[in-house]
Amino acid sequence: MRPPERPCLRAGFCHSLLLISDEPCDTPVATQRRWRISAASVLVVGAALRLYSLPLVPLHHDEGVNGKFLLKLVNEGFYQYDPQNYHGPTLYYFAAVIPWISRLLFGKSFAEAYGLTDSTIRFTTAAFGVATIWLVLILRRRIGTIAALAGATLLAVSPGAVYLSRYFIHETPLVFFMLGLVVAALRFYETTRPAYLMLSAAAAALLFATKETAILSAVVLLTALVLTPLFVKLRELRERISKEPSATEKPRTIVERLRSATERFGGPSSLIIASVAAVSLFLIIEIVFYSSFFSNYPNGLFDALKSLQFWTQTGEHVHVHPWFTYLSWMWQEESALLLLGLAGLGLALWRGANRFVIFMALCAVGMLAAYSLIPYKTPWLMLNFVVPMAVTSGYALQEIYERAVAAKVGIIAFAIGTGALAISGYQMLSLNFFHYDDPSYAYVYVHTQRDIFPLLEQIDAMAKRAGSGEQTGVAIASPDYWPLPWYLRKYSNVTYYTKLTPFTEPIIIASPTQVADIVTMSGAGYRLINSNVNPSGTYTLRPGIELLVFVRSDLTTQ
């Protein structure tokens, strides 16, 4: 079986961003055209699935909290990293670009109306999701053309990758920067161009500025980097022992290998200068983001270090699950990717011919093992091993295809690939566009129910009836209310109460346990409105959390 071709290293830096330098210098024009059309088609499908009707799914509790930070950054120009939130600042600054540009070009009122919406904030993570597919395609020459296309396609239709790309949380940017670091470092190794070293430093810095779990990603990447050559050497040693030793063979010493590698990168002085520049860039990016562009310097940097302490204390009992939970969730939601990913792992280790695939396979297993050993588990963390599994799945399909063609049974490879795509596609469509708030699906984790939309319609209708519009007072009495602050952001008189008190607002949002007390305090001043969305007359915010609407009596008689 032929090894993957090496890219044409004469191609420039910008060409590599357009997937052009992934082609060998002697690749026929027709083949180049087929590759570009195929790669573009995968990207278009991935983008369409991630961008279609972004407001369809109600915002999750965590999305509402992230929206609160974003609103403060955009409207007040203020963001201060909080270690107790322990998620980094990059998501907010990237998401703020659209409303900032909208304000600059069209004014404040336009930005408030169109720059800060469900669609615009989720566009940020959706764009990172599409960019991650693009990174898999860039790996073409390291894993093979079929592997790159198959892996990118499986990622494009992955139920979880699509679902979480349509989620305004940190995970999608995190895995993009993780894979971006790998791709940039690989390019530097192949080309020895300092630009790629700087790009890998920037990706690493943004990785650590995105979420505290970056340290886990870094540990797994470094472990895989160390284990890959060890595994290859052990395999070579075993093969050498099984063969007749050659009298001319003389293995190079470690010193000789280090000297050769150093000279390949331009000698010690060039390598040191490039390394210092890369480390400097890494530190500058970290300082800029965690200090909120120097508005919170140096406190933001100290708080960033504290985040690890808070993270290690995280472990609410509702999120503590057995070690095998991720495997169970993967089997339920990503069965095709799980089976093909494990097949790719086995083939990579058995053949031992492609070091990069071995590295990615070890990353996938390492991520799965690391997150499985931590008691705290949530489904969005699965994205950290779904992405490398997509790469190994693509490799598995390529190996199956080449063996099937060699045996003149190519239809088998076609059937396996089509079956995997059909299963993933069906699961993806079912989860993302029909059962997006169904808690029986693993990725739908304590998610806001679609009942929130008729609740918001009721509030808008009562505000219109009151004649005060967005100045209408709304009292939030229920202790559970996220993501309502995001959805009610245009109302200027919303009050969140920590205890029941005589209310004066025209609208009260309460929990069923507060009904008796509110009726006692208000008498005939308020009337309870039946939701008409379920038999109990309540609105389900999320599983186990019900909300009720009280309206001032005079508004119900108009």
Q: How many Å apart are CA 345 and CA 351, to the nearest integer?
A: 10
Q: Which one, of 352, 355, 339, lies nearest residue 393 by Cα? A: 339
pLDDT (tens digit, 9 = 90+) per residue, 384-430? Answer: 999 999 999 999 999 999 999 998 888 999 999 999 999 999 999 99
Q: Which one, of 121, 101, 63, 94, lies nearest residue 289 by Cα? A: 94
Q: Which residue has the tokens 């009904």?
A: 515
The three-class DSSP label of residue 322 is coil
Higher pLDDT, 19 or 266: 266
Q: Answer for the pair 483, 58: CB distance below 8 angstroms, yes or no.
A: yes
Q: How many Å apart are CA 359 and CA 347, to the nearest integer?
A: 13
Report the pLDDT value the prediction gives residue 248, as an integer from 0 to 100: 56
The mean pLDDT value for 183-194 works out to 95
The mean pLDDT value for 48-54 works out to 98
Reading the block at residue 294, the tokens are 């120097």
Report the pLDDT value the prediction gives residue 8, as an integer from 0 to 100: 56
Please provide residue 60's backbone torsions phi and psi, each rounded to the nearest 5 degrees. Answer: -70, 160
- Helix 171-191 and helix 355-373: axis angle, to 10°? 150
* Mean pLDDT lowest among 184-188, 233-237, 272-276, 446-450: 233-237
Sign of the CA dihedral running 251, 8, 175, 293: positive
pLDDT (tens digit, 9 = 90+) per residue, 69-122? Answer: 999 999 988 898 888 776 899 999 999 999 999 999 999 889 888 999 999 999
Report the length, in residues, of the chain: 558
pLDDT (tens digit, 9 = 90+) per residue, 268-311? Answer: 888 899 999 999 999 999 999 999 999 888 887 888 787 766 66
Report the pLDDT value the prediction gives residue 400, as an integer from 0 to 100: 95
Which residues neighbour 13 within 8 Å (Cβ) at sequence distance 6 or greater?
A: 193, 195, 196
Q: How many Å apart are CA 233 and CA 94, to the nearest integer?
A: 43
Please provide residue 557's backbone torsions phi and psi, each rounded to the nearest 5 degrees. Answer: -100, -5
The residues spanned by each domain of the chain are 17-53+123-245+252-433, 452-556
Q: Mean pLDDT of all residues in the chain? A: 90
Whether residue 230 is predicted with pLDDT greater than 60 in this model: the reply is yes
Q: Where does residue 467 rank: exposed (0-12), middle (13-18), buried (19+ CB within 10 A)? A: exposed
Report the pLDDT value the prediction gives residue 382, as an integer from 0 to 100: 98
Partner residues linked to 87 by β-bridges: 211
Q: How many Å apart are CA 50 and CA 256, to the nearest integer?
A: 50
Please provide residue 122's backbone torsions phi and psi, each rounded to the nearest 5 degrees. Answer: -75, -20
The three-class DSSP label of residue 236 is helix
Please provide residue 18's backbone torsions phi and psi, each rounded to the nearest 5 degrees. Answer: -100, 10
Report the pLDDT value the prediction gives residue 24, as an integer from 0 to 100: 53
pLDDT (tens digit, 9 = 90+) per residue, 122-177? Answer: 999 999 999 999 999 999 999 999 999 999 999 999 999 999 999 999 999 999 99
The mean pLDDT value for 519-544 works out to 94
Report the pLDDT value the prediction gives residue 1, as an integer from 0 to 100: 45
Higher pLDDT, 231 or 472: 472
Reading the block at residue 336, the tokens are 């095709």
The stretches of 352-491 forming alpha helices (DSSP H) are 355-373, 383-406, 410-433, 452-466, 484-487
Regarding pTM above 0.85, the answer is yes
Q: How many Å apart are CA 165 and CA 428, to the nearest integer?
A: 12
Report the pLDDT value the prediction gives residue 250, as an integer from 0 to 100: 62
Q: Which residue has the tokens 């792992």?
A: 345
Q: Which one, of 550, 556, 548, 541, lies nearest residue 60 by Cα? A: 541
pLDDT (tens digit, 9 = 90+) per residue, 367-381? Answer: 999 999 999 999 999
The three-class DSSP label of residue 21 is coil
Report the pLDDT value the prediction gives residue 437, as an integer from 0 to 100: 97
Report the pLDDT value the prediction gives residue 319, as an integer from 0 to 100: 82
Whether residue 249 is predicted with pLDDT greater than 70 in this model: the reply is no
* Portion of the chain with pLDDT greater than 90, in percent: 75
**Helix or strand run (H / E) with residue 496:** strand 493-496
Whether residue 246 is predicted with pLDDT greater than 90 in this model: the reply is no
pLDDT (tens digit, 9 = 90+) per residue, 310-369? Answer: 666 665 667 899 999 999 999 999 999 999 999 999 999 888 789 999 999 999 999 999
